Structure 1
Amino acid sequence: MSNEEKGVEAADRVPPGQTVTEGFPVLHYGNVPYYNDMGRWNLRVFGLVEEEVTFGYHEFLALPQREFRNDIHCVTTWSKLDNVWEGVPVSAVMERVKLKPEAKYVMLHAEEGWTTNLPLEDFVRDTSFLALRHNGERLTPEHGYPVRAVVPHLYFWKSAKWLRGIEFMEKDKPGFWEVNGYHMYGDPWQEQRYDFD
């Protein structure tokens, strides 16, 4: 494939207003959490479930894992193509959870109280997963170690770093970023970046 053909292919994969980067920019608000004792880390699954589930770190690592390939798009206008991740499919977590029928939305809870919301149908897509590694390397603290959600079809702020909780809800409500002006849904192809109405 020629460079020109590669450029056309990449253009079809980059949403409006985005610029491709070879790097992996680090963007966050507040502190970067560092973990010295993984025995104290857990992932809580709660809300509209028949029974709450909490995974310890080693229990979480024992869940089925696989490789994922995707492009990611940040609301701040950068896109990174051809990412290779390893992680736990959302479906593997959902096999351990029985949802109540009224569950329609998800709130992802991260360290230090950061949250972001999304519809249940987006969370459970085959392309959504809980990442442990990126491009062959364990996630760094700056990129969400030990576990970050990845929901690649939405702007990257919906892919919560430092994941600690998955809450199932009946009604949609804004998370931290959405309360502070980010769009409630965040479709890159629709440029749903901000919502100040």
Structure 2
Amino acid sequence: MTETDKDSISLLGQIKDKLIGRKQDWSRDGRALTGTTAPHAQRLPPGQRLVSDWPVLDLGIQPEIPHAAFRLTIDGEVTNPVTLDWNALMDLPQHDSVSDMHCVTTWSRYDNHWSGIAVATILDLVQPHNTATHVLFESHDDYTTNLTLEQFAAEDCYLVHTWEGKPISRQHGGPLRVLVPRYYLWKSAKWVRRITFAGADHPGFWETRGYNNNADPWLEERYS
């Protein structure tokens, strides 16, 4: 490794640490909290603002995963653990969906058109055990997050590869990301590489850094 490579890695680490520190400050300071809640029938959650673009937010790393190298492992408390390459993933039934998305940094975007694999298809494929209560996600940038199985199994949840008719870009989590639209977007893991069904909860990256374990935007569950 050259000195230039080492300097580049060091700079990326500094950027990542700065981004993480800033978001932890938001949690400590209660940034953007309005102190209000709203029914889910209200389309825009409390404290959110509408945008027409799709802002980019990550940990300062945007891994590149070619289709030829793609692998998705689904394991844990399941009858049929699998590892899917890209072709196997695309051979599963594909569906289109439309949903809003809400980021904890206060932006929301309406009517996003997605294509991907319904979570119901994944559940049928791996057949979670009765002991499974939670789902854990690992990403190619080492990000982790968690959901209850009930949250993940909702009918509007997908593994998506297409947004507005085009493959999801690397900066937005392509080639494959989780989509859980009823919760703040940090629960919808980008660059997902592993989904583990578990018999207990294991809070993920942001959940252990001051962010709410449930993350319901209408209850304004931004922080712990």
Match of 2:16 in 1: none
Q: Which of 31, 41, 44 is the aligned partner of 2:61?
A: 31
CA distance in 2, matches of 1:98, 1:120: 12
Q: Which structure 1 segments of 5+ residues have no match?
A: 1-10
Alpha-carbon displacement from aligned partner over 1:97-124 (angstroms, at most 9, x marks no partner): 1222110000111112111001001101
Which letter does structure 2 place at the counterpart of 1:54?
T
Q: Which structure 2 segments of 5+ residues have no match?
A: 1-40
Which letter does structure 1 place at the counterpart of 2:115?
E
CA distance in 1, matches of 2:89, 2:110: 28
The normalised TM-score by structure 1 is 0.90
Q: Could you tell me the percent identity over the aligned residues?
A: 40
Match of 2:188 in 1: 159
CA distance in 1, matches of 2:61, 2:93: 30
Alpha-carbon displacement from aligned partner over 1:22-47 (angstroms, at most 9, x marks no partner): 110000003101134x2221100011
CA distance in 1, matches of 2:62, 2:74: 23
Match of 1:4 in 2: none
1:92 partnered with 2:121: yes
Rg larger for: 2
Aligned residues: 184
Alpha-carbon displacement from aligned partner over 1:153-192 (angstroms, at most 9, x marks no partner): 0001100000111101111121011111111010000000
CA distance in 1, matches of 2:128, 2:204: 21
Q: Which of 70, 88, 97 is the aligned partner of 2:99?
A: 70
Match of 2:44 in 1: 14
CA distance in 1, matches of 2:165, 2:220: 30
CA distance in 1, matches of 2:181, 2:65: 26
CA distance in 1, matches of 2:78, 2:120: 15
Could you list the structure 1 runs, at least 4 aligned residues long, displaced by more than 2 angstroms after superposition.
none
